[in-house]
Structure 1
Amino acid sequence: MGEHTKQKPPLMRRSSFWIGAIILVVLIGAATVGRGTISGWLTPHTTKTVKPKPKPKPKPVKLTPYEKKVAAKYQIPAQATALAHVAPVTAIGDSVMVDIIPELKQVFPRVHVNGQVGRQFYELPGIARTLKAQGSLAQNVVVNLGTNGPPEKADVAKFLKVVGPKRQVYWINTHVPTQKWEHQTNTLIDRTAKDNDNVHVVDWHTLSKGHTKWFAPDHIHLEEAGANAYVGLLAKTMAED
């Protein structure tokens, strides 16, 4: 007879089975303690999303009696009125701005206005350079040009180089429905604001749409109600940005 083949013991009687089982139990226990569940051990840990804390509400502003009158006349919130009263501003513009100097000075007592009838966009870089050399170019620069013709990209680029990235530029877009360059001007202003973080559009074109009584017969220069709305919009835009 041939030699009998030695049979292996049943699986559960093998020492290797029990050693493996003990190791598995230890691992499962560690996973349960460390992760809470086996599924937590087998799957990657998910971190809870921490919600950002809401921004604190601005503290209530106490206005002087004069400031309250200004806020009511120009329909400006208290916070925007208070900011406008202390903000150093340089305003560069054409005849539209020249006409509303009294309103600008009521809302922005620290404004320096440089306006001229018939002014064109190409003059802007030189004006800004002169004001800067004189120490008169404030932290906030307001521009209102476009009544007399469209801007050129090169002139806008030169102006922004003079102003620099730290000053804030508030560009009032144009309401000249009788002129073909209105859309061209406003498109370039929008693009300039998108490309430069320190440039903000004051959207006078949208606000004034349909308000024919705000304008003189030429549909460009402002009556009293239009001047109030114009300056009020500027103050609110500056407070938002």
Structure 2
Amino acid sequence: MKRHAAPRKSILKRPIFWVILVVIVLIGGFTVEHKSIANLFSQPTATKPKPKPKPIKLTASEKKVAQKYHLSPKATAKAHTVKVTAIGDSVMVDIVPEMKQVFPNAQVDGAVGRQFYELPTIAQNLKNEHKLANTIVVNLGTNGPPKKADISRFLKVVGNKRQVYWINTHVPTQKWQDQTNQMIASIANSIPNVHMVDWHGLSKDQPTWFAGDDVHLQTKGAIAYVGLLAKTMGK
């Protein structure tokens, strides 16, 4: 008599099936979730927000300067404390009172008819005497375009740590105006410590700022000129 084979257990009833299934689920779940779990434990600790900068308080005299020259408190405060060596031509001579009002620590050296080729020697002499400040203002180009060799000599004297603010020119009666201003812009774009002060752009349509020669400054022009310098430095 033939023996009948015992009926096979359904795979679902076999313990080994469930063990394998549980292992697969656990491994798969770990693979999907391990990154988020790791991220959960690696979250950076909360940092305190940076305190807001304290508002700048100006003295009564500084407030008057800020109002007169249309300056922000920040620009006014910086101009009041920064030490400046300002070297220029007759336009610089025009603005000495305004420069001293906005920049009380400025040493202003202006001369009628001064050319750019004189600047390297002036700067070197001041440096030798330990009188060349870390902030230098240059107003030259009214009487002729600067030469690249003279610019290189000047920048060598200054070095790369002093900041140079070079004011471009408004001299519409002279053919070298655009050449000079293009050279100033080019130098400012390529030398990190040289900054152009765009006096030409600001004064372009302001005839009442100038004397009859359209170069030297009336009081309104001097206020605008020095105000622009302070705003540029305050950026």
Instruction: State the TM-score, normalized to the length of structure 1.
Output: 0.81
Aligned equivalent of 2:34:
34
Distance 1:208 1:100 in 2: 15
Say if 2:130 is the partner of 1:140: no
Query: What's 2:193 paired with?
Result: 198
Q: CA deviation at 1:24?
A: 5.2
The gaps in structure 2 that reach 5 residues or longer are 1-10, 12-16, 38-42
Give the AA of the match of 1:85: H
Aligned-partner Cα distance in 1 for 2:74–2:196: 20
Does the C-alpha gap of structure 1 residues 36 and 165 become closer, same or farther in structure 2, counting only changes over 3 Å?
Answer: closer
Aligned pair partner of 1:79 in 70, 74, 80:
74
In 1: Cα distance, 2:200 partner to 2:156 partner: 26
> Alpha-carbon deviation of 1:35?
3.2
Matches within 5 A, 1:135-214: 135-214=130-209
Look up the equivalent residue of 1:116 and give its one-letter code: A
Q: Are positions 1:118 and 2:137 aligned together? A: no
The aligned residue for residue 9 of structure 1 is none
**TM-score normalised by L of structure 2:** 0.83
**Which residue of structure 2 aligns with residue 218 of structure 1?**
213
Return the alpha-carbon distance in structure 2 between the equivalents of residues 212 and 110 of structure 1: 31
- The offset of 1:59, in angstroms, is 2.5
Q: Gapped runs of 5+ residues in structure 1?
A: 1-11, 38-47
Structure 1 stretches (4+) deviating beyond 6 angstroms? 17-23, 53-56
SS where residue 91 of structure 1 aligns?
A: strand
**Separation in structure 2 between the aligned mates of residue 222 and residue 96 of structure 1, nearest angstrom:** 7
Match for residue 95 of structure 1 among 68, 90, 115: 90
Distance in structure 1 (CA, Å) of the matches to 2:50 and 2:137: 28
Aligned length: 218
Aligned AA (1:28): G
Alpha-carbon shift at residue 75 of structure 1 (Å): 1.3
What is aligned with 1:7?
none
2:102 matches 1:104 = no
Q: Secondary structure at the match of 2:184?
A: helix
1:233 aligns to 2:228 (yes or no): yes
The two structures, once aligned, show a CA RMSD in angstroms of 2.9
- SS of 1:229's partner is helix
Q: Secondary structure at the match of 2:234?
A: helix
Percent of aligned pairs with the same amino acid: 62
- The match for 2:8 is none
Q: Over residues 115-135 of structure 1, what are the superposed CA-to-partner deviations in whole Å (9 max), with x where a residue is unaligned?
A: 111011111111110110111
Aligned-pair distance for 1:56?
A: 6.6
